[in-house]
Amino acid sequence: MIDLDSPKERRKRNDLWSYLFVGLVGAVIGGFLVAGIAPQVLIHRMGLTYTSANPPTITESGTSPVTTPTASPDSPDPWERVIYASEKVSPAVVGIVNRTYVVDFFGRRFGTDSSGSGLIVTQDGYIVTNNHVVENSGGLTVFLADGRSFPATVVGTDPATDLAVIKIDAQGLPIGVFGNSDALRPGQLAVAIGNPLGLDFKFTVTQGVISGLDRVLTVGDFSMRLIQTDAVINPGNSGGPLVNADGEVIGLNVVKINAESVEGMNFAIPSNQVKRIANQIIATGKVKRAMVGVRLVDKQAATTYALGINIEKGVYVYEVIQGGPAAKAGLKQGDIILSLNGKETDKVATFQALLAEMSPGETVELKVRRNRQDLTISVVLGEATAQ
């Protein structure tokens, strides 16, 4: 028979409790490590990632950025130019918190916050940001650089270009000054300003260069022509400005490629596109989408679906919509569109991205190959009936 009160048995029980206690502490520590590290692992395994974020906390306090730059854009010191660009634009950068609601299986309603960035474009409170920052909103709050916060309303959105305009009730606000994105060259200084990972890291400034132009990415159902930069952006930077050495806004940060083998591939919507869309939304609350009136096939689709179409360059006109702009201009089935306004169109996504930057009523020049002859056809764009 075992004596449960013997010294030997008491030592065994004490050892058992020690093991249980150590195991419990280890489980708690492991849980914290999983909670802290696992999200980072998941982020690094993602592919194309929008740069909006769930804020750790929301803070309203803070000091106002300098409204008059202390640095000079003419300094030979490149870091001085980064300071100048940051000081000039930061007062017009805002944090946006979007409260969304979900209902669970039992009908219980839960609210969750996500955050992004935005840029004030008028002194009376119009702000441009990304559509994905404000979509499905149950309430928007805008945090200014001077520490004030305001509720905001959505003026209009354009999912095709991932742009949106929101409005706060304020006057005399600092604004971002737009530059000409069509004049950009690879290698130019690029400064990104925004709120990565939420408002705890508000007005973060990163610098890099313009890495490439005319990069066409397809996100969801839409294709966009974007600026590529290696200026670091992270979740929460969405809607924040990309700025040149003169402190001019040359783009709106939107997306990054987030993969284990990829470094420094970040993208922004060109400023000329942002201005055009924002002006339409401010004026009418919506965007008029241009259309050509053709159905197109590119080389990849022709190969994938074995369509029996030989396409070396350009996009093949598979169908011309009767009565549409292309039909009126004289395009025919079997034509191959080589370029739109001088820009090559070897993919349907590229053609769609270029068209997304046009407005109804504009005239575009299509370079078309027909029966081994190259033609130039002018098309007056129509208005798409569905967005």
| 279-329 residue pLDDT tens | 999 998 988 889 999 999 888 887 777 676 778 888 999 899 999 999 999
d(CA 367, CA 20): 77
d(CA 303, CA 291): 26
162 is catalytic: yes
132 is catalytic: yes
pLDDT band at 15 (very low <50, low <70, confident <90, very high): low
pTM of the model as a whole: 0.74
Contacts of 62-71 spanning 24+ positions with Cβ under 8 A: 62/145, 62/146, 62/147, 62/202, 63/147, 64/91, 64/145, 64/146, 64/147, 65/90, 65/91, 65/145, 65/203, 66/91, 67/91, 67/174, 69/247
Q: Closest Cα partner for 117 from 140, 88, 101, 146?
A: 140
d(CA 3, CA 31): 39
Tokens 């404000």 found at: 134
44 is catalytic: no
**In this predicted structure, which of 197-211, 263-277, 330-344 has the lowest mean pLDDT?**
197-211
Query: Are 246 and 73 contacting, i.e. CB atoms less than 8 angstroms apart?
Result: yes
d(CA 300, CA 285): 37
pLDDT band at 33 (very low <50, low <70, confident <90, very high): very low
| Measured distance between the N- and C-terminal CA atoms of the chain, rounded to whole angstroms | 84
- Predicted local distance difference test score (pLDDT) of residue 180: 93
CATH fold of 290-383 reads: Pdz3 Domain (2.30.42)
pLDDT band at 201 (very low <50, low <70, confident <90, very high): confident
Q: How far is CA 32 from CA 20, 56, 261, in A?
A: 19, 16, 27
| 227-259 residue pLDDT tens | 999 888 887 788 899 999 889 999 999 887 767
Q: Closest Cα partner for 52 from 254, 236, 270, 196?
A: 236
| 325-355 residue pLDDT tens | 999 999 999 999 999 999 998 888 899 889 8
Among 90, 117, 162, 339, which one carries the catalytic annotation? 162
Say which CATH class 47-287 falls into: mainly beta
Among 52, 86, 90, 132, which one carries the catalytic annotation? 132
Instruction: Tell me the domain boundaries of the chain.
Output: 47-287, 290-383
> Judging by beta carbons within 10 Å of its beta carbon (0-12, 13-18, 19+), is residue 198 exposed, middle or buried?
buried
- Mapped onto helix, strand or coil, the DSSP state of residue 258 is coil
| 81-110 residue pLDDT tens | 889 888 999 999 999 998 887 777 777 777
Among 181, 238, 271, 339, which one carries the catalytic annotation? 238
Can you say whether the dihedral through the CA atoms of 216, 187, 183, 337 is positive or negative?
Answer: negative
